[in-house]
Structure 1
Amino acid sequence: MGRLRRPPALGVGERVRFDGQVRGVLQVTAQAVVLEDAEESHRVVALIDLFEADGFEVLFRPERMPLPASGLLETFPPEAVKQALRVESHILEVIHGLPPDAEPGTAPRPGYGPGTSVTSRQRQKATELNEAGYTVAAKTIGNWRRRYATDGLVGLADHRPVRKRPEYGTVDPAVVDAMRQAIKEAVDTSTRNGAYLIWRTGEILRQPDREEGDGREPAWPSRPTLYRLLAKLTTGTHTTGSAVTRRSKAHGAAAPFGELTVSAPGEVVQIDSTPLDAMVRLDNGVVGKVELTAMIDVATRTLSAAVLRPSTKSVDASVLLARTVTPELMRPGWVDALKMSRSVLPHRRLLSLDERLEHAAAKPVIVPEAIVCDHGKVFISQNFRASCRFLEIDFQPTHKGAPFEKGHIEKMLGSIATLFTQFLPGYTGRNTDHRGRSPEQENLWSLPELQDLLDEWIVAHWQNRPHEGLRDPDHPGRLFTPNQKYAALVESCGYVPVALSGQDYIELLPAAWRAVNAYGIRINNRTYDSPELGPMRRQGSGVTAKRGLWEVHRDPYDASRVWVRDHRGDGGWVQATWKYLNRSPVPFGDLAWDHISHQLPKATEEELAEAVAALLTRAHAGPVPAAKSSKKDKPSKNDRRIAARTRATAPTAPPLQPEPPEELASEGPAEDEETLAEVIPLGLFDPLEDPWRRS
């Protein structure tokens, strides 16, 4: 009874015995094989005839020659490498029949020629080595050959000098797991030292509900061993260091960082705010810190807008949107080299779209399509979301505790600190450890001056600085500047920026709904009035959802005017000026007003206006010497700080009517008369007066 046999697999380079000769396989097809022949150049034999021929045998199969792992060989002692090289020469003769240094055409030695099997060669090699004084068995030669086929020269070296030790030595795995749990528990808690973590490890091991594994009690290592184990497990985690850095590393991305593909300016824009690492002179003798709110375009790395404010509010984020879609105009004192017409930006083509670009600085206009921000209350506010909807911008907040999702703006804010802020007087460093002695006593810039410096630095330095993230794909050694990248992307994607009009600035300001009374509009105890409000007085707006109230937009940093939407007309804006603007000609905002309101809770509107004006006057004049006035007359430090922070916030929205009404502008403050004593008038009782009438 016959037995089914699987035919052998043939490949090019193998040697077979056929028709009484040892022949090499030159080519293998689906039905035939091309063999070497002593009389002819080659011989073609059908596969079925080859496999059924008497005496057919596969004698030699070429093995893959492994590449030597030179890097691993450097970890072995020199003597072990020399020994491995000696063994390699013998193994190569066993595999190929010839030593590695044999000359071409050299005939194999007896016992290694054609027709000999690998097993017989191993026995022959073992015999030769034993005669040379080395005690080696044929089985050992076979093990060397197999290790050489798998690991190359490294497999022949003695691994005892470089044998890997357990990662944590002889420490019980249960102790390692317990210490890892203790380290994990310390991520979100206050920073503690190593002694607490070791104590907590022992507490975890003594918990009754802990899974024991094999049921035995783990061996408790010595204290030095525990500290060495703790050092290994806490490497790079800041477990006993900064709590902020520890949380950032623990909650960071577990997967590799991805790369966001953007191909057009404004496709993805990131926004964030951070305290500026420099002291600012807010007013005469008043020093404080401000916050920097900035926006960066991911495609071009353009720093599209940056605003300095004593405290960032949602209106600042909205104003930042307005600035990024508005051309940056040249300012007095700027050199002509900063003009857009002298830059690499496509000025002529853009000028046909917006005439304001004729006097614009060399910074592109970026219209965002999507804004990425964190969960700061400024950016997730209703006002900022409404501004994004108004400009048709996709609002995409990141995941909580994931600052790496907006890494471009995070890196940019750090770059401003190193490229700009540290050159300013009053630089404080990023924390108290880096702060010098008395930075507030240096010659500090005022906030408006510092804002102008920052704007000029952005145009002059940042937009013309080669950026590491803007490399040419075809020439990685070449870096683009943000302006160059913008010009290149405009050529490739045909980007057309659409700038905002003057009306759009007012749309970005926060809204309030108020009634238009006979005396005007009242907001936060301030009355605003204008002759254009005549048709709206005592009338409903027609907006039933707001009970007929009128939509009023205002700038919290400029309390001098508001804008009322004409719902009954064309939907335009009517500017109303504060009634007591002549008493306080300097614009001031809610910060100073709220400060005075808390001090005088029952004061009238006129008294509040006079108090705010007096506060600003006292703060601007500075402290009075003690010999000329009493302590009671001196402005307090808090008063000066509030007034200074208010003065520093200049109006952020351009008014539709830059000049105040004539009747208000013509009025001037009455000249002060010399007062001998304070007179408190007593009111007369009027029996006919309505007691319920509101003053």
Structure 2
Amino acid sequence: MPSVNDPTIVEIHGQTYDVLRVTGTEVTLRSHASGKTITRHPADLAVTDPAFVKRSPRLVDELAPHLRQRLGALAAHLREVDEGVSRDGSRRPEYDLLTTSQETRVARKLCEMEQAGMRMSRAKFMRKLTAYRKYGLAGLVDGRWIRQHDPRKHIPGPVYDTLLDVLNESVNKSTKTRKYVIEEVRKRVRREHGPNVLLPSDASMYRYLNILGQARNLTASGPTRQSAANRRDKTFAKNTERFPGAEVQVDTHQLDVFVYAGKKTVRPYLTVMLDVATRMVLAFTLRIKATKGVDHVLLIAQALTPRQNRPDLSEVRAALQDQMPDHTLLSWEEYQELAREQPYIHPRRIHMDNGKDYLATSVHDATGAIGGDITLSAVRTPTDKAHVERFFRSLESGFVETLPGHTAGNVNDRGKEPENDDLLTIDMLWALLDDWIMRDYHRRPHASLRDERQHRVNISPTQAATSAVSAVSQFRLPWTREMYLSALEPHWRTITDIGVTHNTRQYDSEELHPYRNLMSPDPRKKGKWPVKVDPYNPRVVWLEIARGKFIECRERGTDQAGYLPLLPPVVDDPRADVARFDAAAAGTPMLQPEPPVLPSVESATYEDDDEDDDFDYTNV
């Protein structure tokens, strides 16, 4: 038993020292090997003990419950031998430190443990006692209990290489069973290494598949496997946006519901612009067909129009409510109250995918016009826009599945003929979705949103946006008609005597006369002029004669009587109607078609001539 006057012994970098003196800023040590005395600051002695890494106190947490129970019982016996205190805190005379020696206590404890079914040799007991004194409970952990090894170590080399080849090839193929993969691996190994090669058993092969195939989603659906394979092989950093509008994600999703669009039954396409920092939906558009670049220009224009500045929709909503009384819309007063809660967020960086509609020059021009940037996600990697993808999942489960005509996520879950339900019109779907976003989604607590300044967690998108915009400056940049026209994709045409031609249609204007047969000031386009075309308004184009200055040119012949009935039914085009309603409801500057001005045709009148009545017809 050590004396109270014995010096404290420490081990640093494999050398043993006696601690002679300790002050607040200095520690005096004497080396056992050389006998020299050194003085160090306590911070210099803070070195990592290699044994501590192997015997971390957290090792016990990794053990199974029955092993932790065994360690606790053994530690109680060791403690009683070393300190004389039993598990219940009492001190038994046979283990009294003052009247018994350590050897006597050890011998008595070995007999007691053997009677309790914990037989142990004296040498092992002493090793455990030394480890317990040095590392505590973690020193009693058996190394075999925490042994680690690479699970791929025992896979035969030929089988391992062939198994990886088959798994990599299965990414773009139809889903196969594990049995097929095992048989394919065996067939290839025999072909490459001979028929006499020793192959693992079925149990081993299934175990190898659990090791290698789980990360590759072997039995998952095709899109899941392909998405996982397209994920970049790199270390991903966590990107947390704190600034509203610093990153907004845009994506298009076909909703799992049928609606009426004119006389057609369609599944509409929803395009959403979602702010990452606050999870606020800045803008959304509905289309009955795949989106175009101009649709995303309208989406950007909608995001720049604060809800408080949007048109009065009270009459429109009342008409929709009267048409479909089974679905309840918010009252106009409630709608306005919710609209006042929505903070304005100006999009700075737009994250979108590589679709043809997103790569349109009009989208990039529109983003540049608002002072923003565009970030393109990796090809076929929807996980790059995880936030907006997660929004679509919440939308489907929280809103779409409550609607008539719900088709579910796949054919197996689909009901019988959902297209025959009492379907919504696409205008009613737009109004209900607008209500759901403001009333439900923006007000619902979000697990990923928190307010660091006020130490609030699980706050709603509206609360996150309100807190964020109060801490940073925002500016509003509403779009004008000229800004919208500037963002449309240009088509380069020559101005001739009959105006300009686009898609076999001829367009002209009296204001265009000074520019006929005149080359444009842009030498790179060989004298052609930029013509802006709105696909939802094909009867009008706009010729840009200078930056931001346009001449409106109408289709030739629309001012002639009798021509109007022969025109294509633009007004009855469901796609154009949906786009116009969407733009009008959101207050975006989409150019609405104007009816052609037809000349008035008056009936011919004849004045009475008395001389005609006196004409003598007998001489004719």
* TM-score using structure 2 length: 0.74
- Are 1:464 and 2:451 matched, yes or no? no
- Are 1:265 and 2:244 matched, yes or no? yes
Q: 2:550 aligns with which of 573, 595, 605?
A: 573
- What is the identity, as a one-letter code, of the residue corresponding to 1:197? V
CA contact (8 A) 2:483 2:548 kept: no
Residue 313 (structure 2) aligns with: 331
Compare relative contact order (CA 8 Å, sep 6+) and give the higher one, 1 or 2: 2
Residue 179 (structure 1) aligns with: 163
Report deviation, 1:126: 4.8
Q: 1:317 aligns with which of 269, 278, 296?
A: 296
Residue 234 (structure 1) aligns with: 213
Distance 1:577 1:176 in 2: 70
Distance 2:90 2:6 in 1: 21
- Are 1:486 and 2:465 matched, yes or no? yes
Tell me: CA distance 1:459–1:577, structure 2 relative to 1, closer, same or farther (3 Å). Answer: farther
1:108-147 alignment, distance < 5 Å: 108-110=97-99, 112=101, 121=102, 123-129=103-109, 134=114, 136-147=120-131
Tell me: CA distance 1:554–1:86, structure 2 relative to 1, closer, same or farther (3 Å). Answer: closer
Distance 1:408 1:381 in 2: 23
Gaps of 5+ in 2: 11-16, 23-27, 36-50, 318-330, 604-620
Residue 610 (structure 1) aligns with: 566
Q: 1:423 aligns with which of 402, 422, 439?
A: 402
Tell me: CA distance 1:483–1:575, structure 2 relative to 1, closer, same or farther (3 Å). Answer: farther
Tell me: CA distance 1:377–1:361, structure 2 relative to 1, closer, same or farther (3 Å). Answer: farther
Distance 1:322 1:283 in 2: 26
Report deviation, 1:531: 3.0
1:198-347 alignment, distance < 5 Å: 198-206=182-190, 208=192, 219-223=198-202, 225-227=204-206, 229-231=208-210, 233-235=212-214, 237-252=216-231, 258-284=237-263, 286-309=264-287, 310-328=289-307, 329=310, 330-332=312-314, 333=317, 335-339=332-336, 342=337
CA contact (8 A) 2:493 2:529 kept: yes
Gaps of 5+ in 1: 1-14, 35-45, 54-62, 113-120, 211-215, 344-359, 586-605, 621-642, 671-695
Tell me: CA distance 1:174–1:129, structure 2 relative to 1, closer, same or farther (3 Å). Answer: farther
* SS of equivalent to 1:23: coil
CA contact (8 A) 1:304 1:364 kept: no
Distance 1:133 1:103 in 2: 18
Report deviation, 1:185: 2.8
Report deviation, 1:270: 0.9
Residue 88 (structure 1) aligns with: 75
Q: C-alpha root-mean-square deviation of aligned residues, in Å? A: 4.6
- What is the identity, as a one-letter code, of the residue corresponding to 1:296? L
Tell me: CA distance 1:520–1:224, structure 2 relative to 1, closer, same or farther (3 Å). Answer: same
CA contact (8 A) 1:81 1:157 kept: no
Distance 2:249 2:496 in 1: 43
Residue 75 (structure 1) aligns with: 65
* SS of equivalent to 2:125: helix
Residue 639 (structure 1) aligns with: none
Report deviation, 1:657: 9.0
- What is the identity, as a one-letter code, of the residue corresponding to 1:471? R
In the TM superposition, what whole-angstrom CA distance separates every residue of 1:609-630 from its partner, at most 9, and x where no partner exists?
83734xx89xx7xxxxxxxxxx
* SS of equivalent to 1:492: coil
Report deviation, 1:553: 0.9
CA contact (8 A) 1:125 1:138 kept: no
Q: 1:434 aligns with which of 413, 416, 422?
A: 413
Distance 1:240 1:131 in 2: 57
CA contact (8 A) 1:511 1:554 kept: yes
Report deviation, 1:441: 1.5
Tell me: CA distance 1:125–1:584, structure 2 relative to 1, closer, same or farther (3 Å). Answer: farther
* SS of equivalent to 1:464: coil
- Are 1:392 and 2:371 matched, yes or no? yes
Q: 1:473 aligns with which of 443, 448, 452?
A: 452
Distance 1:547 1:108 in 2: 106
Residue 531 (structure 1) aligns with: 510
Residue 320 (structure 2) aligns with: none
Distance 2:162 2:135 in 1: 38
Distance 1:30 1:71 in 2: 34
CA contact (8 A) 1:66 1:149 kept: no
- What is the identity, as a one-letter code, of the residue corresponding to 2:280? T
Tell me: CA distance 1:146–1:27, structure 2 relative to 1, closer, same or farther (3 Å). Answer: closer
- Are 1:368 and 2:347 matched, yes or no? yes
1:401-420 alignment, distance < 5 Å: 401-420=380-399
* SS of equivalent to 1:375: coil
* SS of equivalent to 1:541: coil
- What is the identity, as a one-letter code, of the residue corresponding to 1:335? W
Residue 481 (structure 2) aligns with: 502
Tell me: CA distance 1:552–1:108, structure 2 relative to 1, closer, same or farther (3 Å). Answer: same
Using the aligned pairs only, state the percent identity: 26
Residue 23 (structure 1) aligns with: 5
Distance 2:178 2:489 in 1: 51
CA contact (8 A) 1:174 1:218 kept: no
* SS of equivalent to 1:202: helix
Tell me: CA distance 1:147–1:515, structure 2 relative to 1, closer, same or farther (3 Å). Answer: same
Distance 1:110 1:30 in 2: 30
* TM-score using structure 1 length: 0.66
In the TM superposition, what whole-angstrom CA distance separates every residue of 1:339-393 from its partner, at most 9, and x where no partner exists?
2xx45xxxxxxxxxxxxxxxx7654433221111122222123332222223222
- What is the identity, as a one-letter code, of the residue corresponding to 1:128? R
* SS of equivalent to 1:527: strand
Question: Which deviates the most, 477-486 or 378-387?
Answer: 477-486
Residue 638 (structure 1) aligns with: none
* SS of equivalent to 1:534: helix
Distance 1:584 1:125 in 2: 119
Residue 39 (structure 2) aligns with: none
In the TM superposition, what whole-angstrom CA distance separates every residue of 1:49-83 from its partner, at most 9, and x where no partner exists?
x9999xxxxxxxxx999869765565327xx946x
In the TM superposition, what whole-angstrom CA distance separates every residue of 1:416-468 from its partner, at most 9, and x where no partner exists?
22232222222212222222221222222333443343334334433333333
- What is the identity, as a one-letter code, of the residue corresponding to 1:378? D
Report deviation, 1:558: 1.7
In the TM superposition, what whole-angstrom CA distance separates every residue of 1:100-147 from its partner, at most 9, and x where no partner exists?
6455999614454xxxxxxxx3x5455435666947543222222245
Larger radius of gyration: 1
Distance 2:147 2:242 in 1: 52
Distance 2:558 2:76 in 1: 100
CA contact (8 A) 1:66 1:150 kept: no
More helix by share: 2
Tell me: CA distance 1:437–1:534, structure 2 relative to 1, closer, same or farther (3 Å). Answer: same
- Are 1:650 and 2:606 matched, yes or no? no
* SS of equivalent to 2:540: strand
Question: Which deviates the most, 387-396 or 304-313?
Answer: 387-396
CA contact (8 A) 2:167 2:218 kept: yes
Distance 1:394 1:384 in 2: 11
CA contact (8 A) 2:163 2:185 kept: yes
| Paired residues, number | 546
Tell me: CA distance 1:296–1:23, structure 2 relative to 1, closer, same or farther (3 Å). Answer: same
CA contact (8 A) 1:172 1:219 kept: no
